[in-house]
Amino acid sequence: MTTSSSDSFSSVAPDEISRFSALAEKWWDPRGPMRPLHAMNPLRISWACRHIPVQGRHSRRVSALDIGCGAGLASEALAKAGHNVTGLDASANGIAAARKHLETYPLPRGAGSLSYREGSAEELAKEGAKFDAVIAFEIIEHVTNPAAFMATLSQLLEPGGTLIVSTMNRTLSSLAVGKIGAEYLLRLLPTGTHTWKKFVTPAELGRYARAAGLTIEAIAGMSPTITGDWKESRNLSINYIAAFRKL
C-alpha cells in the first residue's frame, strides 16, 4: 500500500502491508480471499476507463499509475485496455505475485505496457514521476493519513490529469454490510480486512481533493447484483468510486 509528499511522512501502514502480503499467493484465485475484488474489477476498470484521458500528454497511450496494486488485478486489466501502466505496492510479496502472474499470462498483442515496482508513492513523488492518470482502488481506507495521501496522488499527476479513487463510505450500512456482513457472516473477506472507522465519506474525500488542488468530475455508487456481478448505481452508502481532475 502507499503515501504523501513530506520527507518524513509515509502513509504506508506496516500492519496493513503484513495483512495483504499474507494473501499475495491467493490474490489471483477468483474464489479465494480476494473474490470480491474479482467480482468488482470489471465495473471499476470500465468506469475508470470512461473517465481517464483519451490520450497521454507525452504519447498516444495514457500513462497510468496503479497505487496499492497488490498482485496486479487492476494493473493487468488497465494494461489490457491499452494504457501504459506502472503497478506500485509496498508489499514485496504482492509485487512478486504480480510479476509471476504476468510472466505466466503475458499481455495480449495490442495491449499497453505493464511494469511493477515495490515502494511507496512518496518515493515516486520525490523522484518527480508524473502520470496522466493515477488509480487508487480500495487503498485510501488503509493508509495512515488520507488527506496527505491525496496530496501525494495529486503531486504524481500531470496538469489536467485524472485521479480515480474507489473506497467505502463510513455509514451504518457499510458497517453492517461491508464490515460485519462481508467479514464475519458471509466470510467474503478475511476477518480484519477493514477498519470501519477508517472508511472515508464522499464529503471527506471531496475536502481532501480540494486541498490537494483537485476538482471532482464524477462520482457513482458500486453495488453487487444478485448474480454476483457489480453495477454502477446512485447509492453511495457502501462502495463508491470518484474521478478528480488536477487543476
Residue 44 in marked binding region: yes
Cα–Cα nearest to 164, from 10, 61, 43:
43
d(CA 217, CA 51): 8
Residue 15 in marked binding region: no
Instruction: Give the cell for residue 100.
Output: 509471476
Q: Within a 10 A sphere around the Cβ of 54, how many other Cβ atoms?
A: 8
CB neighbour list of residue 95: distance below 8 Å, 6 or more residues apart = 69, 87, 89, 116, 117, 118
User: What single-letter amino acid sits at 21?
Assistant: S
Residue 7 in marked binding region: no
Residue 72 in marked binding region: no
Summarize the annotated binding site as residue ranges: 44, 68, 89, 137
Summarize the annotated binding site for S-adenosyl-L-methionine as residue ranges: 44, 68, 89, 137
